[in-house]
Amino acid sequence: MEKPPEKRQLPRWSELKPLLRTKPVELNPTKRRLDKALTIADLRALARRRTPRSVFDYTDGAAEQEISLRRARQLFRDLEFRPSVLRDVGDLDTSTSMLGKKAALPFAFAPTGFTRMMQHEGECAVARVAERRDVPYALSTLGTTSIEEVAAAAPSARKWFQLYVWRDRAAGEDLMKRAAAAGYEALILTVDAPVAGARLRDLRNGFAIPPALTLKTILDAATHPAWWVNLLTTPPLTFASLHTWDGTVADLMNSLFDPTMTIADLQWVRSCWDGPLVVKGIQTVDDARRVADAGANAVVLSNHGGRQLDRAPVPLRLLPDVVDAVGDRIEVHVDTGIMSGADVVAALALGAVAAWVGRAYLYGLMAGGERGVDRAAEILTKEVRRTMQLLGVRTVNELTSAHVKLP
């Protein structure tokens, strides 16, 4: 039997009206652009379009064949979450304690060099977002805003200062004194850079501090005019730790940093700094024990974002063993390869007190200045909350190794 034809009719206005949901027009182009970014990867894509190639590659790249960075990110991708269902996750608390003080979120903004090179608002923009979001921010020795300016920009933020040990120890002592006087609560001693890693993207791009006006960069300026206008019409770069520099990043590091530093030098640092001391760049269990024995308050398991030794240990892989070895004596933090709130939660489940993010907020900065950094923090926060709820936990302290399986 043949099926009768369906009856059709023209829709009435009363039926169409509920389906027409117009969104208000966003007039601010930066906010309009950032609202479309749903992940840190989206911010990275925006940053790549808006920033000169040499500057983007300095941020995005790593050492030599970039194996260390790829391996770190791959481990986060390959791990497996183990959720516990039928749990009350209606009331969520993402706060945690870092270095004896509460933070609203279980991540910190890691120190990054030359931040105003990436976008002219620079370190002050990051510090203000850290203040609003109640997460710590570490200013780098190679920052492009002075210790005092960052302190003034975000007076209530939890500010940490990152130090490389210089050949000129008097200069290092002066930096520590300035940081203490400006209210920085912790010192981050980075120990994985006795010499500069071979960052081949920078060498191929001819990346220099400040950017040189060559034929290549002038052609690049034609496609990124806003970046160049902002660089040339805002105050010259002011370094946190030196007045000026003209050359490559590798030359700067090899000129200033002391390759003869040993574990004994931690006593010198301790004699100059009364507050919490964090040692960043730990890549073995034995070194974690050594710095714990030497009086550090915390370690950061880090291979410098893959920017120093290629084929270095993956910090996340190392994390459970270090926590077992020293976690009852000092705090264990972790960085490298963290691109989502789910990555943060995985690190916490494996024993980290906190995860440190660097590139993630820098992509936001390059994509949209302070608004972009805030968007990165918002994305990470939402992902942390959602992942915790889907795992069936209400607090950071409820996360355990049972929630994560490493490949």
Between 3 and 191, where is the model more confident? Answer: 191
Whether 89 has a pLDDT exceeding 80, the answer reads yes
Taking the C-alpha atoms of residue 331 and residue 300, their distance in angstroms, rounded to an integer, is 9
Distance, CA of 356 to CA of 281 (rounded, Å):
12
- 248 pLDDT more than 70: no
236 burial class (0-12, 13-18, 19+ CB within 10 angstroms)? exposed
Does residue 13 surpass a pLDDT of 80? no
Cβ atoms of 212 and 206 closer than 8 Å = yes
Closest Cα to residue 315, out of 276, 357, 378, 277? 357
Lowest average pLDDT, out of 21-35, 45-59, 148-162, 247-261, goes to: 247-261
For the chain, percent helix, then strand, then coil, each to nearest 5? 45, 10, 40
Q: What is the pLDDT of residue 318?
A: 98
| Cα 136 from Cα 138, distance rounded (Å) | 7
Q: Are 109 and 361 in contact (CB under 8 A)?
A: yes
- DSSP letters for 108-134: EE---TTHHHHSTTHHHHHHHHHHHHT
pLDDT in tens, 348-366: 999 999 999 999 999 999 9
Active-site residue, 120 included: no
What is the phi/psi pair of residue 368, to 5°? -170, 30
pLDDT tens digits, 292-342: 999 999 999 999 999 999 999 999 999 999 999 999 999 999 999 999 999
Q: Residues 201-231, buried b or exposed e (16+ Cβ, 10 A)?
A: bbeebebbbebeeeeebeebbeebeebbeeb
Architecture label for domain 32-84+95-393: Alpha-Beta Barrel (3.20)
> Looking at per-residue confidence, does 29 or 383 come out higher?
383
For the entire predicted model, the pTM comes to 0.92
Least confident window among 18-22, 113-117, 286-290, 307-311: 18-22
Predicted confidence band of residue 211 (pLDDT cuts 50, 70, 90)? low
pLDDT per position as a tens digit, 156-183: 999 999 998 777 788 889 999 999 999 9
* Mean pLDDT, rounded, for 360-377: 98
Catalytic residue (choose from 120, 224, 304, 403): 304
Average model confidence (pLDDT) for the chain? 91
List the single range of 33-42, 102-111, 189-198, 352-361 with lowest mean pLDDT: 189-198
Residue 405 near residue 80 (C-beta atoms within 8 A): yes
CA of residue 301 relative to chain centroid, distance: 14
Any idea where the domains of the chain sit in the sequence? Answer: 32-84+95-393
Which tens digits make up the pLDDT trace of 41-77?
999 999 999 999 989 999 999 999 999 999 999 999 9
From 170, 208, 201, 196, select the one nearest 62 (Cα to Cα). Answer: 201
pLDDT over threshold 70, residue 238: no
